[in-house]
Amino acid sequence: MKDHLFVEEMLQQLTPSDRNLFILRSLEGYEYAELSELLGITQGTARKRVERIRKQRKNFLAKEEEQSVEKLGYR
């Protein structure tokens, strides 16, 4: 899967608010204090949500890898 299609598919798995948070933190480089002010949430909430999103991303990557391996006939 091409990288940009992969990223788009992964982002579509997130809720709109989580997608926005992920983009601001991971792609735009906003600090937690900035996210807190911008989104009207505490820094702790921002951190917890980003951690949850990262776990979801990790699970998504593992699932995609497993499907790729199966398509190649290695399992």
- The structure's pTM equals 0.76
* Rounded CA separation 37/46 (Å): 10
- The residue ranges of every structural domain in the chain are 3-71
Q: What is the pLDDT of residue 72?
A: 72
Distances (CA, A) of 29 to 19, 26, 51: 14, 6, 15
Q: Strands (DSSP E) along the chain, which ranges?
A: none
Q: What is the pLDDT of residue 25?
A: 96
- Give the dihedral of Cα atoms 65, 66, 69, 71; nearest 10 deg: -110
Q: What is the chain's pLDDT, residue by residue, as a tens digit (75 residues)?
A: 466 777 788 889 899 999 999 999 999 999 999 999 999 999 999 999 999 999 998 888 888 788 777 777 765
Candidate CATH numbers 1.10.1660.10, 3.30.300.30, 3.40.190.80, 1.10.10.10; the one for domain 3-71: 1.10.10.10
